Each structure stands twice: as structure tokens, then as C-alpha cells.
Amino acid sequence: MKAKRMILLATTLSAALVFSACQATDVVGKVAVTSFEQVLNTASDKVTFDDEKNSWSLESPAGDEFKWSKDFSATDVDGIVEFDGTPFVNAGLDVTKLPENYVYDDATGRLSLNFEIGQEKFDYSGDATALDTFKNIVEKKRDIVGYHEALDHYGIALGNGNMFEWAKDMSKNDKDIVFVVNPQPFIDAGVDPGKVEGWAFAKVEVKDKDGKVEQVDKFLKPFDLK
């Protein structure tokens, strides 16, 4: 039954990731902020600040984390996706073959995917909040924030086909947040993508830089926060 549920999930998400950052730019940017605020408020007990990485962290019910830098000009790593690496190891991962920005912690079994997004300096009035930082991202790095119409999701592109997404309206969506990971580096490091427990492996639609829709493989992990 579990495998069947994952197949159904993959089918549901397959057509959903048409990422549009340019269409109705001001509307997308504005609603991306208000919808992200709703996620932060709903999961307020899972929002923390990582002093070591100078980044905010949003943790999923399963312990997966999305982290975003408080100031791109002050950090080498601006966006992070972190999760349990055990399912990938069990599916054949050779951690020594991962890219340099993919870090496996032997002690904890955690995988951290680290991305440099830009060098923009963020401005604050008073003490910064997680939402204030996200507003800076939308204002100063607008091209990485977009909208996926099929699932009514907004998202932030971290690099190399990796994204973090959230629902436009959580009251109408059972996929409040979704971790979207490019499987190719893992496949190159020995992973059988169909055997990674807890992640759906699916063909999804994305738009390239010219707006052309194409089908690509993704690992998908959604959560309902309500």
C-alpha cells in the first residue's frame, strides 16, 4: 500500500511544477510573501534561527529542513535543503561520489544540499524576522521566486533543479510544503531512484529560461502542516 500511495502521489505532482517567475511579476511576488507568511505562522514552532549558518530554518514534520540566509552578502551558502540521508544510502548512495556542495554527516546520517544563490545585501529596520528575510529575497532576488499553477504553489529555486515550495492557500491544499530535489546527482552516485523510501520519484513539467515546457525527473516530498 505504501508503494501504491507514493505512485499516486508522484502522478498527482507530475504535472505541477511549471515554474513561472515572470508572469504577473508584482502579483506573484506579493502573494508569495503572504502565502509564505501563512506557512511560517502555521509552523511557528518549527521556525528557528541557525546562528552558525546565519540562516532561518523551517522544519517539516519529519525533520527535513529548508534554510535561507539572513543576508546573501554575508554567507557563502544562501539556501540549504537538509534531510535524512538513510533512505538514499539504503538505495545505493555512495556518499563519496556526491558533489562538493552535498554534505553527508556520518554522525547524524543527515544530508545537506548547500547552494550559493547571490551576493545581495539585505536591509532591515529593527530586529529581523524570518519573513523579513524572505521579503528581501523577493525584492532583491525576484527571479528565483515563482508560481506553479497546477498545484497552486509558490516556490524558491535554489539551484541545479532543486526547489522548496509552499501552498498559495493552505486551507485549500493538502500539500502545504514540498521539497523538490534533482535526482541526477544521486543517480550518478549510485542511487536507484525508485527505491528511495519516503520520496516520490516522478516526471514533472518545468519551464526553461525561454519559457519552454519540458519534462524532467524529480524527487518530491510533500507535507501537510495542518
173-188 pLDDT tens trace:
989 999 999 999 999 9
Q: Write out pLDDT tens, residues 158-214.
A: 999 999 999 999 999 989 999 999 999 999 999 999 999 999 999 887 776 677 888
pTM of the model: 0.88
- Which position has the grid cell 509558490? 154
Q: Is the pLDDT of residue 1 over 90?
A: no
Parallel, antiparallel, or unpaired for β 177-181 and 200-207?
Answer: unpaired
Please give the average per-residue pLDDT across 2-26, as a whole number: 47
Q: Write out pLDDT tens, residues 112-141.
A: 999 999 999 999 999 999 999 999 999 999
In this prediction, residue 55 carries a pLDDT of 98
Instruction: Dig out the grid coordinates for 56 from the structure.
Output: 532561518
Q: Write out pLDDT tens, residues 50-99.
A: 999 999 999 999 999 999 999 999 999 999 999 999 999 999 999 999 99
Interacting residues of 31 by C-beta distance below 8 A, sequence separation 6+: 147, 154, 168
Q: Is the pLDDT of residue 11 over 50?
A: no
